[in-house]
Structure 1
Amino acid sequence: MRSDLIIAQKRKEDEFITLFDDISAELDNYKAQLKGMRVLCPCDWDESYNEKTIYLKNKLKKKTKIVHCNFAKFLLAQAENYGIKSITSSGYNPANGKGIKFQDIDYSKYDVVITNPPFSQFDDFIKVLFDNKMKFIVIGPQTGVHYKKVFPYIMNKKLKLGYAKQLIGFQLRNGKKILSSDTGKQSGIPRACKWFTNLKVNKNIDEFVPTAKYNKKIHPKFFNYKKAINVPDVNLIPDNYKGEMGVPTTFISKYNPKQFDIIGKTSTINRSPKWVGDKAGLWIEYDKNLVETYQKKFIEKSKIFKINGRNVKIYAPFERIIIKAINKK
C-alpha cells in the first residue's frame, strides 16, 4: 500500500473526495435495492455539519447548485429514477469540533449509508454500521479486510466487496486529482481502495482458476503455524493443495465464497511456538532449498531468535489471510 494511504489511515483529518464517475459506476448496480430507502451520506462537512435532509419524497429541500457532496449530487440526479425516499447529509470536522460524529447519529431514521468515511476510522465505522443494523455502500482501503473489527464480517460472509475492481481516482481538498491511470507514485492510492457493502452483489464472480502446482520450495509451511503453507503471490495458489494456505490480502478481490473458506488471518489463528520478540505473527524458517525469491527475503528481512533451545533464522511475510479450498463432491 502506498505511503500516502498509510498516512491517511493515521491522520484524523484525512479526506479523499470521491469522484462523481466512481460513484455513478458503482451505485447504479444497486438501483433496485435503493428503491424506497432513506439514504444518509455522513462524513462530509462540506455539505452539512449536522444532519440535513436535502431531498424528501420527490421534493428538493436544498438548491442543487449549492450541493457540494458528490454522493449527494449523484443521488439527487437519480432520486426519481431510483425511487429514493429521502437523502440526508451530515459531517464532522475534527479540526474545529463542529458537526455530528458518525458514532452519535440516530441511525433508526435511515435505511442505508453511502459515503467515503475517514480511513483512520474505517474499523470503527464499519462496526457502528453493523451494530445499528444498517445497510451500506462505502469506500475503504483494501487492507481494511484485515482490520480487527472488519475481518469477522468478511470471514462470516456478512461483508463483501462491491463491483469496481479499483477506483478511478480521488480529489484532494486543494482540487488536485489523484488518478489510478496516472504514472505518479500517488496513483496507487485509488488502486488500493475498494467498495464495501452488505447489500446483495449480483456480479458474476468467476471461479478463480489456479494454475500453479504445489511445490515445497515455493510453498513452505509456516514455522509457527504448520497447518498452512505460505503462498507468496495470488497467482501461485496451487490447484492441487487441499490444506490451509496463507495468501496475500489481494486475494480478497478474487475471493469466491463457493470456492474457498476463510479460516482466519495472521492475528486470529492459534500460532505455536511463541517466543519473546515475536511481534510479526507468521514466520518462515530459513531453508537453503527454497527458491531465490525467499533467499532474497532472508537476506533483507530475516531475524535470528533462540526458540526452544536453538537459534532459528526466520523472516515474516506481510499479513496473510488463511484460506482452504472447498472440496467439491
Structure 2
Amino acid sequence: MDGKKQFVILGNMNAITYKEVFPLLKDNEIWLGYSIHSGDRKFNVPDDYPLNAAGCGIDEDGKKFIRVKGVRWFTNIDHDLRHQPLLLDTMNNNLKFNKKLKKKLETTFGAIKYPHYDNYDAIEVPFTECIPSDYNGIMGVPITFMDKYNPNQFAILGITDRNNEYGLTTKIYTPSDGNNYADCNRRAAIRLSNGKLVSTYARLLIKKADE
C-alpha cells in the first residue's frame, strides 16, 4: 500500500476477516473487484498434483484442474459496481414476505424477528439482501456483504472479533456462560429464549452512512 500502486490480487473471501486485510477494507483503501461474486473457480495444477478433492478433474486438453470456492478479486482500482446502491426493503416487509429470512430466523433463533446480539449493540442480519432499509442502528452482516458494499450507502464500523479491536464488544463470557463461551467471545452471540447462547459466523458491523 505504501508504494501507491494500483493492483488486483486473487484471494480467498475469508481474507476479509484477516487482521492485515480487514482494516484496509474498513477504511476503503481496498475493496472487492468487479467480476467474481459467487461460486467456485477452476485452476490448472501441475501434472503431478494429486486430484483427491471433490470438483477436481482433467479438462478436454488433458490438463489437471481443481475448483476453489470463495475466490474474489481484491483491488484498489475503482469500478462502477461499488457505487451502485443496494436495493432494500423495510424490516416489516422482510419479516412478512421474505421466506428465506423467515425460515432462517425461526429455525435458528426460534422467532421471526431480527435478534439482538448479547455481546454487541447490534442486530443480526443473516443475509445481505435482508438488511432493513428503515433501521438506523448497527447491524451484523455476513462477509459476503462486501460483494454489494457501497461506501456511500453504508459505513463499516468493525468486525466481530475476540480482541475487541474496534471497541464494540459489550460483554466478555466465561466458562460459567456455557461450554461454547470461547466461540461466543470470538464472534457475535445470540441468547435464545431458553437462555442458551448461540454464536454466529464472522460478522461485519455496519450502519447507514451519514447523509
> TM over 0.5: same fold?
yes
Match of 1:116 in 2: none
1:323, CA displacement in angstroms? 0.7
Q: Which amino acid aligns with 2:151?
A: P
Identity %: 29
1:15-41 deviation digits (Å, cap 9, x = unpaired): xxxxxxxxxxxxxxxxxxxxxxxxxxx
How far has the Cα of 1:162 moved from its partner? 1.2
| Code of the aligned partner of 2:24 | Y
Q: CA deviation at 1:287?
A: 2.4
Larger radius of gyration: 1
Q: Distance in 2 between matches of 1:168 and 1:313?
A: 39
Q: Provide the residue aligned with 1:319 in structure 2.
A: 202
Correspondent of 1:271 among 158, 165, 169: 169
The Cα RMSD (Å) is: 2.6
Cα contact 1:212–1:235 (8 A) shared by 2: no
**SS of match in other structure, 1:221:** coil
Higher RCO (C-alpha 8 Å, min separation 6): 2
Residues 155 and 262 in structure 1, CA contact (< 8 A), matched pair in contact too: yes
1:233-255 deviations in Å (ceiling 9; x for gaps)? 11221111111100011111010
Deviation, structure 1 residue 131: 4.3
1:231 aligns with 2:129: no
Please give the alpha-carbon distance, in whole angstroms, between the structure 2 residues aligned to 1:325 and 1:224. Answer: 21
> Does residue 170 of structure 1 match 2:34?
no
Give the CA deviation at 1:132. Answer: 4.3
Q: Which residue identity does 2:89 align to in structure 1? A: T
Checking the alignment, whether the CA contact within 8 Å between 1:284 and 1:316 is kept in structure 2 is: yes
Q: Which residue of 2 aligns with 1:252?
A: 146
Distance 1:206 1:314 in 2: 37
- Counterparts of 1:56-75 in structure 2 under 5 Å? none
Size of the alignment, in residue pairs?
167
TM (norm. structure 1) is: 0.46
Q: Which runs of 4+ in 1 moved over 3 A?
A: 131-134, 174-179, 202-205, 214-217
1:152 to 1:326, Cα distance in 2 relative to 1, 3 A: same
**Structure 1 stretches of 5 or more lacking a match?**
1-129, 180-185, 289-311
Q: SS of the residue aligned with 1:195?
A: strand
Matched, 1:147 2:18: yes
Contact kept, 8 Å, 2:83 with 2:152, in 1: the verdict is no
Displacement after TM superposition at 1:178 (Å) = 5.5
Any unmatched runs of 5+ in structure 2? 58-65, 96-110, 175-180
Equivalence for 2:114: 219
Which has a greater percent of helix?
Answer: 1
